[in-house]
Structures are given as C-alpha cells and as structure tokens.
Structure 1
Amino acid sequence: MGLTLPLSLLPHVADIEPFKGHGAYGPVYEPPIVGEPCLIDDERRMVRDDEGTEVVSDTTIFFRPGTRCPAGSRITAYGRQMIAITSFDRNGGRLPTPDHVEVVCR
C-alpha cells in the first residue's frame, strides 16, 4: 500500500456534486459531498478531456485517495463554481509517493 497525501497538505475544502448524467433540463448531479479536504492550485494549462479534445484548465484540485469526482462534476470552493474536465487516480503502488486524486477544472 502506498502513502496517502497527508491532511496537513490539504488546507482547503471543496464541495463536490458528482456528475450523474444528462436529464431533460441539463446535467444531473448526485447529492453533494460537503467539506472535502483538498489543495487548490490555480494554474492555467492545456489538458485533454475524456474525449481527447484539448481544453484549457484554470484550476487543479488534489483530493485524498478514493474521492469520487468524475468528469462533469460540479465543484464549489471559495464561493466559485468549477466543472471537472477529467480526474486522475494517482496511485504509486509500492513506490513511496503520496496517493491522491487529481482533478483538472474549468
């Protein structure tokens, strides 16, 4: 089992509404996960979404392992709302690297 990103490195909190699908009136979300510890990094960079299209990400958020935040999820932090472009489960396996979930947002 790898290391887990320590809570001392997650000074922010975010509310996550996991994307469920599309309904007749637009996106449908699961009930919110409130107060999830995280690290928010505001940096603009090019990323690929789940369909392989290049898009601009303004923010990357790092969460504890096991955090559920699929593409299309709505994330609220610091009074602003973001949409998850994609997320990555960063698991080092037996390597001494901190396991975490990385979510890139627009």
Structure 2
Amino acid sequence: MRVPAYLLRHRITVEPYLGDSAYGPTYGPPVADVPALVAETIKTVRDPQGREVTSTAQIIAAPGLDCPAESRITLPDGRITRTISVAHHTAPGLPVPQCTEVSAE
C-alpha cells in the first residue's frame, strides 16, 4: 500500500546528487513536479556521518523517490535546499502506507 496521492498536495523539484567532480558537486537532471507533502518545521536529525544537524523541511513522497543525501530540492515556495537524510518506510503485509521521508536543510 502506497501513501495516498491525495495527501501529497505540494510539488517539488529534485536534482539527484551524483557525486563530486573537480568543479564541485554534480547533479542529475532535475525531476520537476514531484508530488510530496512538505512540513517546514525545525528538527534535529543526524546526517550520514552521524553528526546532529538542523533540518528545516521534512518531505513525504511516494516510495522509490531518487533523492540521495546531498541532492538539491526546490520547495513549493521556491527555496532551494539540500537533502540531509532519506528514510524509506515499508511495511510488507501490513495495512500502512509505504513512503519516502526526506529531511532537508
């Protein structure tokens, strides 16, 4: 069971992080109009290195979203932010929705 589409009221743009080059970070082609639910609240989360950092936006999207840590995200208000961490929530066989949760700067 996937998160119901009617709950994903916002639209975001995701540029997946591909790695670093001699000229800085590189990103994949932008994926526009991604359905999501965005909550702009301040929370403390851990980054991939285990450090505590502040997240100012939490995003819920459909499962399978390609948005690794360090990806660029354009929020509905036009603010461009960076992915801190990604969690894929699944519960095979249980009647709860699967989704991807992204914590962003």
Query: Structure 2, unaligned stretches of length 5 or more?
Result: none
- Report the alpha carbon displacement of residue 61 of structure 1 after superposing the two structures with TM: 0.4
In structure 2, the residue matched to 1:33 is 31
Q: How many residues align?
A: 104
- Report the alpha carbon displacement of residue 43 of structure 1 after superposing the two structures with TM: 1.1
Q: How big is each residue's C-alpha offset from its partner over 1:56-87, in whole Å with a ceiling of 9 and x where there is no partner?
A: 10110011011110000000022110100010
Structure 1 or 2: more strand by fraction? 1
1:59 to 2:41 alignment: no
Rounded Cα–Cα distance in structure 2 between residues aligned with 1:29 and 1:80: 17
1:15 to 2:33 alignment: no
Rounded Cα–Cα distance in structure 2 between residues aligned with 1:59 and 1:66: 19
In structure 2, the residue matched to 1:95 is 94
**Could you tell me the TM-score, scaled by structure 2's length?**
0.96
Q: Which of 25, 42, 45 pairs up with 1:44?
A: 42
RMSD, matched Cα: 0.7
- Report the alpha carbon displacement of residue 95 of structure 1 after superposing the two structures with TM: 1.4
In structure 2, the residue matched to 1:74 is 72
SS at match of 1:8: helix
